[in-house]
């Protein structure tokens, strides 16, 4: 706290942690830390149910489709069709090999696995700035 107050920095946990020990000056590139939230690895339920408890949707046994699984961060460079462009975001897989990609600008549906490349594999956490 002494080091943080001496440098007129705002009170946040990450700045307190950065000012531990002997600190003459602290050079901060930006005030936007990486926010991490625990999301888990999914569920083991055999089927999804409606609000009355009746089964409405059955889940596939396999979680990996064409080498990808839901939650991976991918970059898709689409060169053919009506969805030409580059998309970066979280992927939701389908058995058919055509995936949905959630980007910052919205959801893009039906992108082939052939256009997708891994950026980050799902590890149970969600990352954002």
pTM for this one?
0.68
Any idea what DSSP says for residue 34? P
Architecture of domain 38-128 in CATH?
Answer: Roll (2.30)
Cα 112 to Cα 39: distance, rounded to the nearest angstrom:
26
CB contact set of 93 (below 8 Å; sequence gap of 6+):
64, 65, 66, 68, 69, 70, 99
pLDDT confidence of residue 21: 82
Determine the Cα–Cα distance for residues 74 and 87; give it in Å rounded to an integer. Answer: 8
User: Distance between CA atoms of 76 and 48, rounded to whole angstroms?
Assistant: 30
Share of the chain above pLDDT 90, in %: 43
Alpha-carbon span 55 to 47, nearest angstrom = 6
CB count within 10 Å of CB 82 equals 6
Query: Region 92-97: what's the mean pLDDT?
Result: 90
The residue ranges of every structural domain in the chain are: 2-33, 38-128
Least confident of 12-16, 71-75, 101-105, 108-112: 12-16
- 3 state DSSP class of 65: strand
Q: Encoding tokens for residue 96?
A: 């058919």
């Amino acid at each position: 706290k002494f080091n943080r107050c001496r440098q007129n920095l705002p009170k946040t946990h990450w700045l307190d942690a950065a000012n531990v020990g002997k600190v003459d000056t602290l050079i901060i590139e930006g005030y936007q830390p990486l926010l991490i939230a625990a999301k888990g690895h999914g569920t083991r339920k055999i089927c999804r149910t409606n609000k009355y408890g009746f089964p409405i949707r059955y889940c596939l046994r396999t979680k990996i489709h064409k080498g990808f699984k839901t939650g991976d961060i991918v970059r898709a460079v689409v060169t053919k069709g009506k969805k030409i462009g580059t998309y970066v975001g979280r992927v939701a897989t389908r058995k058919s090999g055509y995936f949905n990609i959630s980007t910052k600008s919205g959801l893009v549906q039906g992108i082939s696995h052939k256009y997708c490349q891994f950026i980050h594999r799902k590890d149970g956490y969600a990352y954002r700035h």
